[in-house]
Amino acid sequence: MTEDQFWEIIEASRQASSDCEAQADALQESLSELAASEIMAFDQIFHQKLVGAYHWDVWGVAYLVNGGCSDDCFEYFRAWLIGQGKAAYEQVLADPQSIVSILENSEDEVECEALMYASHSAYESLEGEVMPVLERMSSPAPAGEPWEEQDLEERFPKVAERCA
């Protein structure tokens, strides 16, 4: 599976619904049409994208948008961000405050845990067993400069204004 194929599948699921659960269902359905190895490759790329967005600035805007953001919430936010498609994902990584323009088109919650499990569910439906866990990249800490909660409004004024 190429990265372009990955994003095409994400985009198709996004077009199916902006609702988290419905998008995850559409994603699972699309993945169920692939070979088991392709589902595993999709899952690997999805995880790489989660790690790629593991950045303090992205966490800072997630914190403001969601009115707080634990470790788990931040993972679900990053899954939601991936679910918004390649352009949105890359835009927010390049300029975290650009999340404001993405939020204008979204009325749903800004996290989507269900997207994280679509590939596992598709694999299990296809193969009748749990998807093997592949060796994954991980990062012990977010990239970038850490922040303090009291500094977020100053650091991300556009987002603070939008979410006030």
Amino acid at 134: L
Classify burial at 161, counting beta carbons within 10 Å of its beta carbon; exposed 0-12, middle 13-18, buried 19 or more: exposed
How large is the greatest C-alpha to C-alpha distance in the chain, in angstroms? 51
> Could you tell me the pLDDT band of residue 18, with boundaries at 50, 70 and 90?
confident
Q: What are residue 55's DSSP bridge partners? A: 143
19-50: pLDDT as tens digits: 999 999 999 999 999 999 999 999 999 999 99
Rg, C-alpha atoms of the chain = 16
Contact (CB, 8 A) for 116 and 79: yes
Going by pLDDT thresholds of 50, 70 and 90, the confidence category of residue 145 is: very high
Whether the predicted pLDDT of 113 surpasses 60: yes
The shares of helix, strand and coil residues in the chain, as percent rounded to the nearest 5, are 70, 0, 30
Q: What is the pLDDT of residues 49-73, one digit of tens each?
A: 999 999 999 999 999 999 999 999 9
For the residues of 76-128, what is the DSSP string, one character each? HHHHHHHHT-HHHHHHHHH-GGGHHHHHTT--S-S--GGGGGHHHHHHHHHHS
Cα separation, 42 vs 6, whole angstroms: 6
Is the pLDDT score of 87 beyond 70?
yes
pLDDT at res. 137: 64
**pTM: predicted TM-score of the whole model, two decimal places:** 0.94
